[in-house]
Amino acid sequence: MLQCVFFLSDSGEVMLEKQMTAHRVDRSICSWFWDYVLSQGGDPSKILPVIASPTHYLFQLYRDGIIFLACTQVEMPPLMGIEFLCRVADVLSDYLGGLNEDLIKDNFVIVYELLDEMMDNGIPLTTEPNILREMIAPPNIVSKMLSVVTGKNSNVSSKLPDATASCIPWRKTNLKNASNEVYVNLVEEMDAIFNRDGSLVKCEIYGEVQVNSHLPGLPDLTLSFSNSSILNDVRFHPCVRFRPWESDQILSFVPPDGEFKLMSYRVKNLKSTPIYVKPQLISDAGNCRVTVLVGIRNDPGKTIDSITVEFQLPFCVASANLTSNHGTVNILADKTCSWSIGQIPKDKSPSLSGNLVLVTGLEKLHMFPVFQVGFRIMGAALSGLQIHKLDIKNAPTQPYKGFRALTRSGEYEVRS
Instruction: Give counts: helices (H), strands (E), the chain.
Output: 7, 24
User: 100-124 burial, b for 16+ CB within 10 Å, e for fewer?
Assistant: ebebbeebeebbebbbbbbbeebee
* 196 contacts: CB under 8 Å, gap ≥ 6: 368, 415, 416
Work out the pLDDT band at 411, boundaries 50, 70, 90.
very high
In this structure, are residues 339 and 296 in contact, taking their beta carbons and an 8 Å threshold?
no
**What are the backbone dihedrals phi and psi of residue 346, each rounded to the nearest 5 degrees, phi first?**
-80, -25
Strand 400-415 to 181-194 pairing: parallel
Pairing of strands 351-358, 328-331: unpaired
DSSP state of 242: H
pLDDT of residue 334: 86
Q: Phi and psi for 358 in degrees, rounded to 5?
A: -85, 165
Amino acid at 297: R
Pairing type for strands 250-253 and 123-124 reads unpaired
Strand, coil or helix: what is 95? helix
Q: What is the mean pLDDT of residues 352-381?
A: 90
Give the CA distances from residue 415 to residues 37, 194, 207, 268, in Å, rounded to whole numbers and listed in that order: 27, 6, 25, 21
Q: What's the whole-model pTM score?
A: 0.78
Residue 117 DSSP code: H
Amino acid symbol at 241 = R
User: Rounded to an integer, what distance in angstroms lies between the CA atom of residue 273 and that of residue 275?
Assistant: 6
When the pLDDT of each residue in the chain is averaged and rounded to a whole number, the result is 88
Residue 154 has pLDDT above 70, yes or no: no
d(CA 25, CA 27): 6
pLDDT tens readout for residues 235-274: 999 899 999 999 999 999 999 888 889 999 999 999 999 9
Q: Is the pLDDT of residue 151 over 70?
A: no
Residue 215's contacts (CB-CB under 8 Å, 6 or more residues apart) are 175, 178, 180, 181, 182, 255, 257, 392, 395, 399
**The dihedral formed by the CA atoms of 51, 57, 61 and 65, expressed in degrees to the nearest 10:** -80
Q: Work out whether strand 287-296 and strand 351-358 pair parallel, antiparallel, or are unpaired.
A: antiparallel
Other C-beta atoms lying within 10 Å of the C-beta of residue 244: 15
Lowest-pLDDT choice from 104-118, 127-141, 242-256, 351-365: 127-141
Q: Does the pLDDT at position 382 exceed 60?
A: yes
Residue 148, pLDDT above cutoff 60: no
Q: Which pLDDT score, from 0 to 100, does residue 158 have?
A: 56
Using DSSP, state whether 86 is helix, strand or coil.
helix
DSSP SS3 for 404: strand
Query: pLDDT, tens digit, for every residue of 22-59?
Result: 888 999 999 999 999 999 988 888 899 999 999 999 99
Using the predicted structure, report yes or no on whether residue 149 has a pLDDT greater than 60.
Answer: no
Strand 387-393 relative to strand 275-284, pairing: unpaired
Residue range 46-92, pLDDT digits in tens: 899 999 999 999 999 999 899 999 999 988 999 999 999 999 999 99
Does residue 324 contact residue 339 with C-beta atoms inside 8 Å? yes
